[in-house]
Amino acid sequence: MLRELLTLLESNDGCLSVNELSRRLHAEPSAVDGMVQTLVQRGRLLSLDSTGSAPCETCSAAEGCALAAFRNKRYVVAPRS
């Protein structure tokens, strides 16, 4: 599934979040996050942090939400040197 995740990111024009990846891969966000973190550690993906997330900022449950941790990070395939 790591190859499928990389292929999905390579074929995407922009960058994708863990939530977007999990939806497209039909996998749990926590499983996708583990795969993404492995690929980041191996230097295959870059993590891009975006600031602010309007839906989470106004949600009363945002502080305890497990998915909120995934919302602001997006990933792209690292350029090969």
Alpha helices in 2-60 (DSSP H): 2-11, 18-25, 29-41, 54-58
Q: What is the pLDDT of residue 19?
A: 87
Task: Give 22's pLDDT tier (boundaries 50, 70, 90).
Answer: very high
Which tens digits make up the pLDDT trace of 4-19? 998 888 887 668 888 8
Whole domain around residue 30: which residue ranges?
2-77
Structural domains counted in the chain:
1
Indicate whether this model's pTM tops 0.75: no
Which tens digits make up the pLDDT trace of 25-80? 999 999 999 999 999 999 998 887 654 444 455 555 555 555 555 556 788 888 87
**12/34 Cα distance (integer angstroms):** 20
Domain of 18, CATH number, reads: 1.10.10.10
